[in-house]
Every structure is written in C-alpha cells, then in structure tokens.
Structure 1
C-alpha cells in the first residue's frame, strides 16, 4: 500500500457496529488508544474487515482543533 497521507496508524479492529447504511469501525492503534471511523456499510463489506484484523486508520484533515479545560 502506498498513500500520500502522513497520518497513518496501524492497529487492530476492536469492533464493527454495522447499521442500515453506515458502519462504525473502532481500531486500537496503541494499548488503550482507539480511533473510530464511520464508513459506508458497503465499504466495510468490500474491505471484508473483521474484529481482530489488522487495519490502518488514515487521517487526512485540513484542521486540527486543540482544546483545554
């Protein structure tokens, strides 16, 4: 896989919650650190991902918001 995005995190699929149109995929990229993504149900099916599989969270964004308490 070659990709131009710089924020690529390899991890393990922890859960997939599939709805009528979308699927929420949770990837654990480090112990206790998870990334959630909502993708189309058809994309999840096309990727044939399952809990326990290795997957990549690819983050491409023009904005990063920082907040403090």
Structure 2
C-alpha cells in the first residue's frame, strides 16, 4: 500500500537513520533536508509498519501550537 495523497502540509520526506526501541514506546530519527526529525511512537507501530534503518518515510506532523523564540544576536 502507498499513500496517494494526504491533507497535511506539515511533512518532511526522509530516511530512517536510527530506531531506539523501548518496551512500550520507541524513538525514530529521520534525516530530512531540514535536519533530523525525531518522533516517539509506540513500539507496536514500529513493528506493524515495520520501520528499519534505511527506510524512506514521510515525517508527518500536526501542529496545533507553534512557539517562536527570538535568538540573541552574536557579538
């Protein structure tokens, strides 16, 4: 099965570079053009997909809140 379309614009195409498995939740690291995106998902989802290092994936996210922080200027 492939995704033909998705309504979310908040997505980055990338490749899985690390899978840190836990007993209940796991951390997935995805290398994208914008940098590394980390996601915490259930370990059962890791197995069901199944996700492995080297897999091409979409990191899709839903943001109900976005914070902006001003960075100090360097001297």
TM-score exceeds 0.5: yes
TM-score by length of 1: 0.91
RMSD of aligned residue pairs (Cα, Å): 1.2
Inter-partner Cα distance in structure 2 for 1:4 and 1:29: 20
Which structure shows the bigger proportion of residues in strand conformation? 1
Greater Cα radius of gyration, structure 1 or 2 = 2
Q: CA deviation at 1:19?
A: 0.4
TM-score by length of 2: 0.84
Count of equivalent residues? 68
Unaligned runs of 5+ in 1: none
Unaligned runs of 5+ in 2: none
Q: Who is 1:21 aligned against?
A: 24
